[in-house]
Structure 1
Amino acid sequence: MSDQIARDSWKAADNSAPLPSLDELRARADGFRRVIRRRNLVEYAAGILVIVMFAMGALTAPLLALRMGSALVAGGACVVMWQLYRRGRPLSPPEHGGRMSVLEFQRRELARQRDALDSIFTWYLLPLIPGMAVIMAAPLLSLPPDAWRMPPADALFVMAAVVGVFVAVYLLNKWGARRLQRQIDEIDALMAE
Structure 2
Amino acid sequence: MPDRDPFQALWTQQKKETFTMSLADIRSHSRRLQSRVRTRNFTEYAAAGLVIVLFGWVGFLIPDAVVKTGAFLIALGAVYVALALHRKARATNLQPDGGQPLIAFHRAELIRQREALATVPRWYLAPFVPGILIFMGGVSFAPDTGLPLLARLSQFGISLAIVSAVFAGVAWLNVRAVKQLDAEIAALDAAGASE
TM-score tier (shorter): 0.7 to 0.9
Structure 2: which 5+ residue stretches go unaligned?
A: none
- The residue number in structure 2 matching 1:9 is 13
Pairwise CA distance, 1:154:
5.3
Pairwise CA distance, 1:172:
0.6
- The residue number in structure 2 matching 1:116 is 116
- The residue number in structure 1 matching 2:87 is 86
- What amino acid maps onto 1:131 in structure 2? G
SS at match of 1:19: coil
- The residue number in structure 2 matching 1:34 is 35
Task: State TM-score, norm by structure 2.
Answer: 0.84
Pairwise CA distance, 1:178:
1.0
Task: State TM-score, norm by structure 1.
Answer: 0.85
Pairwise CA distance, 1:111:
0.8
Deviations 1:11-47 (A, max 9, x none): xx35113331x22221211111001000000000000
Pairwise CA distance, 1:142:
3.5
- What amino acid maps onto 1:83 in structure 2? A
SS at match of 1:127: helix
Deviations 1:29-71 (A, max 9, x none): 1111001000000000000000011111111113111100001
Pairwise CA distance, 1:140:
5.1
- What amino acid maps onto 2:38 in structure 1? R
- Aligned equivalents of 1:124 and 1:183: distance in 2? 23
* Alignment pair present for 1:77 and 2:81: no
What does residue range 102-181 of structure 1 map to in structure 2 within 5 Å? Answer: 102-139=102-139, 141-143=141-143, 149-152=149-152, 153=154, 156-181=157-182
- Aligned equivalents of 1:189 and 1:94: distance in 2? 20
- What amino acid maps onto 1:80 in structure 2? V
- Aligned equivalents of 1:97 and 1:18: distance in 2? 22
- Aligned equivalents of 1:180 and 1:33: distance in 2? 13
Deviations 1:143-171 (A, max 9, x none): 4xxx9722355554333222211111111
Aligned CA-pair RMSD: 2.5
Extract structure 1 runs of 4+ deviating beyond 6 A: none
- What amino acid maps onto 1:128 in structure 2? F
SS at match of 2:82: helix
Percent of aligned pairs sharing the same letter: 30
For this pair of structures, how many residues does the alignment match? 186
